[in-house]
Amino acid sequence: MQRLLLGSLLILTACSTEPEHATMNDLEHLPTWPEPGVLNAVIEISAGSVEKRQYDPATGTFPIDLRNGLPRMIRFLPYPANYGFIPGTKINKEEGGDGDAVDVFVLCGALPSGTVVPVEPIGIIELLDAGERDDKLIAVPVDPALRTVEADDIHELPQAARDILVTWLLNYDPEDGAQLVAVKGRADAIATVERWQLR
């Protein structure tokens, strides 16, 4: 119980490290790197969810995505990790990207939508999704109390964990038909964020 309370307090503390001007309506404008080697991650979808949600900056909410006018529900296994984005980034369409912020999987217990959690990048799963680059950063919380795995690099994760993430990403949305490009380590993850960081 103590550990759960401490974890909740730390999540709230992480959220309170936002700049004073930041609100739920401008989570996209939080600092990308609040300190050297540490990224802000905004959680859109909790681990274990089957609802495909996306942050709406106009309302500051996390509505369920629609496809063909219907709510997008995952018709596969639930999300294996918390899913969200790195603020202050954008994968440009002109360079083959999807036009969205860099996506991130945060490996820890379920965090609610809207949580801002400081993370350390440990790798990246490079994908083509519907013909566009849609890479997924892999990260762990800075706070040791929130971590479920210990790794400084994705290649230090158990092979089974890497296989689960890749297999899920390639199968959760058969309509888009994602294709694996590569699984790369920490240095490439950092380089990806730096490449797409808005100046």
pLDDT in tens, 136-184: 999 999 999 999 999 999 999 999 999 999 999 999 988 877 899 999 9
- The two three-digit tokens of residue 22, written as one number: 């930041």
β-sheet bridge partners, residue 84 = 43, 104
Asked whether residue 16 carries a pLDDT value surpassing 60, the answer given is: no
Q: How far apart are CA 90 and CA 4, in angstroms?
A: 34
Looking at per-residue pLDDT, the higher value among 29 and 118 belongs to: 118
Looking at per-residue pLDDT, the higher value among 77 and 15 belongs to: 77
Rg (CA), the chain: 16
Query: What pLDDT band is residue 95 in, cutting at 50, 70 and 90?
Result: confident
- The two three-digit tokens of residue 25, written as one number: 């309506």
Q: What is the pLDDT of residue 24?
A: 60
What CATH number did the domain enclosing 84 receive?
Answer: 3.90.80.10
Task: Look at residues 55, 51, 53 and name the one whose alpha carbon lies nearest to residue 73.
Answer: 51
Q: What is the pLDDT of residue 98?
A: 76
Residue type (1 letter), 121? P
Query: What pLDDT band is residue 2 in, cutting at 50, 70 and 90?
Result: very low
Asked whether residue 100 carries a pLDDT value surpassing 90, the answer given is: no
CA 98 to chain centre: 15
* Number of domains within the chain: 1
Domain housing 110: 2-196
Q: What is the pLDDT of residue 117?
A: 97
How many helices (H) and strands (E) would you count in the chain?
A: 3, 9
Residue length, the chain? 199
- The two three-digit tokens of residue 75, written as one number: 């018709």
Are 122 and 151 within 8 A, CB to CB?
yes
Query: What pLDDT band is residue 1 in, cutting at 50, 70 and 90?
Result: very low
DSSP string, 50-68: -B-B--BTTTTB-PBPEET
Asked whether residue 11 carries a pLDDT value surpassing 60, the answer given is: no
* Strand spans (E) along 16-114: 39-45, 66-67, 70-71, 82-85, 103-106
Asked whether residue 80 carries a pLDDT value surpassing 90, the answer given is: yes
Residue 10 CB contacts under 8 Å (≥ 6 apart), including other chains: 143, 145, 146
β-sheet bridge partners, residue 179 = 128
Q: Which residue has the tokens 């529900």?
A: 73
Q: How far apart are CA 48 and CA 61, in angstroms?
A: 19
Q: Mind listing the pLDDT tens digit for each residue in 17-75?
A: 333 334 466 898 899 999 999 999 999 999 999 999 999 988 889 999 898 889 999 99
